[in-house]
A and B are shown apart, each in its own frame.
Chain A
Amino acid sequence: QKEVEQDPGPLSVPEGAIVSLNCTYSNSAFQYFMWYRQYSRKGPELLMYTYSSGNKEDGRFTAQVDKSSKYISLFIRDSQPSDSATYLCAMSFYGNNRLAFGKGNQVVVIP
């Protein structure tokens, strides 16, 4: 079983729809959870960060962590064509020097 599972998609949605992305993981030690957005030919950009369980909201973006289910989610409300990108989940724990990444999920928002 891979440490972090993320369905690579692609996911196509019409403009204005809610985009829902998720990752599952196997290591219960993970406590830092991130979502990165990567536009084509660009570097991954830190989009959302959550420590431990709970929700975090930033504008149209909401990140959720459910440690009991080992499941994290990213929601994008009122999606825009500019949200078209690959979204990668990543996670780590204290004392670990590396991030565990998902494979990335390509999202296309159609105008």
Chain B
Amino acid sequence: DTAVSQTPKYLVTQMGNDKSIKCEQNLGHDTMYWYKQDSKKFLKIMFSYNNKELIINETVPNRFSPKSPDKAHLNLHINSLELGDSAVYFCASRRTSGDTDTQYFGPGTRLTVL
């Protein structure tokens, strides 16, 4: 009964390849996010979807394309992978209710580009 799940957990690939990461949440939340965490542990927001609609699109290369088929899923497709794309990518789901505004993170996908 994992709240936010991601697949795959590890992804090792060659430069120039295209890959996808999938995320699913079973919390019933409307808003989901993709974050990138670099080696210094800083979490950088990439995208956010609210009920399948893109609401945040940070300065991210257009090789990265998010897709939300429904509000429980948010996938990330990356074209023409580069060495600098190596990082841990986290999906998160947001709960807002009255005096509550929190996010719940998935376990992460560790991407290594060779």
Our pick among B43, B48, B90, B100 for the contact of A32 (Cβ within 8 Å) is B100
**B102 at the binding interface (Cβ < 8 Å):** yes
- Chain B residues within CB distance 8 Å of chain A: 4, 31, 40-43, 45, 48, 50, 55-56, 90, 94, 99-108, 110
Give 19 A-B contacts (CB < 8 Å), ordered by A residue. A8-B40, A32-B102, A34-B102, A36-B105, A41-B110, A43-B106, A43-B107, A46-B104, A49-B100, A49-B102, A88-B41, A88-B43, A97-B56, A97-B94, A99-B45, A101-B43, A103-B40, A103-B41, A106-B41
Our pick among B45, B55, B90, B100 for the contact of A44 (Cβ within 8 Å) is B90
Additional pairs, 5, CB under 8 Å, beyond known A43-B4, A43-B108, A92-B101? A38-B41, A45-B105, A97-B31, A101-B43, A104-B41
Please report the C-alpha to C-alpha distance between residue A88 and residue B41 in the assembled complex, in whole angstroms: 9
- Contacts between chains A and B (CB distance < 8 A), count: 57
B100 touches A51 (CB 8 A): yes
* Given contact pairs A88-B43, A104-B41, A98 touches B56 in the complex (Cβ within 8 A): yes
Please report the C-alpha to C-alpha distance between residue A19 and residue B48 in the assembled complex, in whole angstroms: 34
Please report the C-alpha to C-alpha distance between residue A30 and residue B37 in the assembled complex, in whole angstroms: 23
| Shortest distance from the beta carbon of B97 to any chain A beta carbon, whole Å | 11
Please report the C-alpha to C-alpha distance between residue A90 and residue B94 in the assembled complex, in whole angstroms: 13
Please report the C-alpha to C-alpha distance between residue A103 and residue B106 in the assembled complex, in whole angstroms: 19
Please report the C-alpha to C-alpha distance between residue A82 and residue B102 in the assembled complex, in whole angstroms: 24
3-24 of chain A: CB within 8 A of chain B = 8
* Given contact pairs A104-B41, A104-B42, A46 touches B102 in the complex (Cβ within 8 A): yes
**A79 at the binding interface (Cβ < 8 Å):** no
B6, closest chain A residue (CB): A43
Chain B contacts for A8, CB-based, 8 A = 40-41
